[in-house]
Structure 1
Amino acid sequence: MRTQVVIIGSGPSGLLLGQLLAKAGIEAVILDRVGKDYILGRVRAGVLEQGTVGLMDEARAGKRMHAEGLPHEGFSLAFDGRDHRIDLKDLTGGKGVMVYGQTELTRDLMAQRETIGAMTVYDASNVRLHGYEGRSPYVTYEREGITHRIDCDFIAGCDGFHGASRKSVPEKAIRTFEKVYPFGWLGILADVPPVSHELIYANHPRGFALCSMRSETRSRYYLQCTLDEKIEDWSDDRFWDELRRRLPAHHAEALVTGASFEKSIAPLRSFVAEPMRFGNLFLVGDAAHIVPPTGAKGLNLAASDVHYLYAGLTEYYQDHSTAGIDAYSTRALSRVWKAVRFSWWMTTMMHRFPDTGAFDQKIQEAELDYLTHSRAAATALAENYVGLPY
């Protein structure tokens, strides 16, 4: 079998790239090692930058997002027992973000791909990349005991941090940068109304907390926790009690609790791999970079990678120019590192670190005070939060 682009991974970045390429008349086959139901069962991020919203519209998959998503014009930084609202719309000249669950975004992209009859292969095991350093790349995979081969012009590795794409690159050809944080996030999903109509990022002596939502009736809450915590030690009652302790009193009193239907602990890390292109292989999204979720950048960074790669491949096929694909890694990494910086900064400002001394704590408090009393500082936060331009 032959196609123009093989996309490895049918998460949001792979599906979004596939839809955009199809719109441009470029053939692409998507492979994934797991099944559709497994992919749709994963719970992930839910804050979309305007650039991501625009790409969903361009991919003709944004109708339900606009109908059911929640546009947000600000969020709250909570510390010293008080709320300090960051007015995104005012600070950025009218911009905001969209709260819409990644699972729903993935579902929309899958449905659109099925509508146009494009090919996606699920449960493709033993995926291997071949010849991408030359002019004749191809991908092999196994399904139901049969080995298949797809020849192509380009391979897009959208298969995440643990996927086959980055692992196939020779160790000497890639450089990685990593910071592991000394805590994790304990998160729950519950079918209860959100405590606030906007997100709350709380800095508290007991640790960070985040109040988010997936809809007007489904809430997503997080608590900073140690890396040795165990899920089974956290009953719903214990979680709600701890969340109340970390919120300003008026939010704690208004908090509606209920049974959770999803609970998990996620470690936090910053990770970047350079470059993001190896011959005719391009790394996209989590295959190339990971950020702590504090800045809501993971999914959005994957979308910006898709933007740059889609533009480059379109230029290649329509204008017979390699300028766009040649510049892909440089353009993507420039934006990646800015988002990595922002996510690191938000994480260090909002969390309590185990080795923080009295001096460091005073610096954190001064940073928060300056941020909420300086329009210039708040503007820098806001323009990063809504998303830097592509």
Structure 2
Amino acid sequence: MRTQVVIIGSGPSGLLLGQLLTGAGIANVILDRATKDHILGRVRAGVLEEGTVRLMEEAGCGARMHAEGLPHDGFSLAFDGRDHRIDLFGLTGGRRVMIYGQTELTRDLMDHRERVGALSMRFSWWMTTMLHRFPETSDFDQRIQEAELDYLTHSRAAATALAENYVGLPF
């Protein structure tokens, strides 16, 4: 297998990076030790800043976020029996945030990646066989072990998981 970039971790950052690279014509594969069902089964909060919203649009994954997300121009703090409104929109020259769950953002990115045929692998055995050579392997496993890549990128969480599980990696 030949790819230009391997991305470790299929959270929102890894998936968004993968989609942006795919859109730019850069071959990439995303590896994760967890299954899609496990990843999408974790409920996470989500407050997206404008930069993230723009990147989702650029990646072609923003339609559902705009349809279902809640734009927010500010928030309120309550103390001493009074409500104090903080006008983020006014204080930041017109910027706002989008309330949209991280799980939904991840789902949108995964669905889009599948629609365009971009490769994501979520099998820990695949990662293990790619990172370790075993003498008694099938032709398929040998091809996986001989995968070539130009770049490896990861989040801090992915680097920690890799370092804990795969001795000898440069993390």
Deviation at 1:80, TM superposition (A): 2.0
Letter in 2 for 1:160: A
Partner of 1:2: 2
Answer yes or no: is the 8 Å Cα contact 1:12–1:102 preserved in 2.
yes
Let me know the Cα RMSD of the aligned residues. Answer: 2.7
Aligned length: 161
SS in 2 for 1:37: helix
With over 3 angstroms needed to count, the CA separation of the structure-2 counterparts of 1:67 and 1:98, relative to structure 1, is same
With over 3 angstroms needed to count, the CA separation of the structure-2 counterparts of 1:45 and 1:31, relative to structure 1, is same
The structure whose residues are more often strand, as a share, is 1
**Aligned partners of 1:66 and 1:160: how far apart in 2?**
28
Q: Which has the larger radius of gyration?
A: 1
Partner of 2:17: 17
SS in 2 for 1:103: helix
**Aligned partners of 1:119 and 1:158: how far apart in 2?**
18
Q: Which runs of 5+ in 2 are unaligned?
A: none
Moved runs in structure 1, 4+ residues, more than 6 A? 166-170
For residues 135-146 of structure 1, what are the structure 2 equivalents within 5 Å? Answer: 139-140=130-131
Deviation at 1:45, TM superposition (A): 2.3
Counterpart pick for 2:162 among 156, 161, 164: 164
Letter in 2 for 1:39: I
Task: Calculate the TM-score normalised by the size of structure 2.
Answer: 0.83
With over 3 angstroms needed to count, the CA separation of the structure-2 counterparts of 1:53 and 1:17, relative to structure 1, is same
Deviation at 1:46, TM superposition (A): 1.0
Partner of 2:148: 151
Q: In the TM superposition, what whole-angstrom CA distance separates every residue of 1:32-88 from its partner, at most 9, and x where no partner exists?
A: 111110000011121000001011001110010001100000001222232211101
For residues 263-274 of structure 1, what are the structure 2 equivalents within 5 Å? Answer: none
- Percent identical among aligned pairs is 60
Task: Calculate the TM-score normalised by the size of structure 1.
Answer: 0.38
Letter in 2 for 1:92: T
Deviation at 1:151, TM superposition (A): 1.6
Is 1:91 the counterpart of 2:91? The answer is yes
Relative contact order higher in (CA < 8 Å, ≥ 6 apart): 2
Letter in 1 for 2:74: G
**Aligned partners of 2:164 and 2:50: how far apart in 1?**
28
SS in 1 for 2:10: coil
Partner of 1:353: none
SS in 2 for 1:93: coil
Deviation at 1:141, TM superposition (A): 7.0
Answer yes or no: is the 8 Å Cα contact 1:3–1:152 preserved in 2.
yes
Q: In the TM superposition, what whole-angstrom CA distance separates every residue of 1:279-322 from its partner, at most 9, and x where no partner exists?
A: xx8xxxxxxxxxxxxxxxxxxxxxxxxxxxxxxxxxxxxxxxxx
Which has the higher mean CA deviation after the structures are superposed, 154-163 or 32-41?
154-163
Partner of 1:62: 62
Answer yes or no: is the 8 Å Cα contact 1:71–1:98 preserved in 2.
yes
Q: In the TM superposition, what whole-angstrom CA distance separates every residue of 1:312-346 from its partner, at most 9, and x where no partner exists?
A: xxxxxxxxxxxxxxxxxxxxxxxxxxxxxxxxxxx
Q: Which runs of 5+ in 1 are unaligned?
A: 130-138, 171-277, 282-390
Letter in 1 for 2:80: D
